[in-house]
């Protein structure tokens, strides 16, 4: 997230949205500025291709 804050990267988070949001909440991270591409399960995240 630090790299995104200094505009080095633009994160696209791919995976089960509920799990991504839960992990972000535990880490006290705001995901509002980032795109989330939801998948049914973690293994599907590896196969997801951004359109």
* Domain ranges (residues) in the chain: 2-47
Residues 15-23 have a mean pLDDT of 96
Name the pTM for this structure.
Answer: 0.76
* pLDDT band for position 40 (cuts 50, 70, 90): confident
Q: What's residue 10's pLDDT?
A: 94
Tokens 């804050």 identify what position?
5
Q: What is the pLDDT of residue 50?
A: 57
- Distance of alpha carbon 50 from alpha carbon 27, whole angstroms: 26
Instruction: Find where tokens 């089960």 sit.
Output: 16
Short-list 14, 7, 2, CA closest to 39: 14
């Amino acid at each position: 997230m630090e790299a995104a804050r200094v505009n080095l990267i633009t994160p696209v988070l791919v995976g089960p949205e509920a799990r991504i949001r839960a992990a972000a909440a535990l880490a006290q991270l705001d995901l509002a500025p980032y795109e989330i591409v939801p998948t049914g399960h973690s293994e599907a995240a590896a196969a997801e291709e951004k359109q």
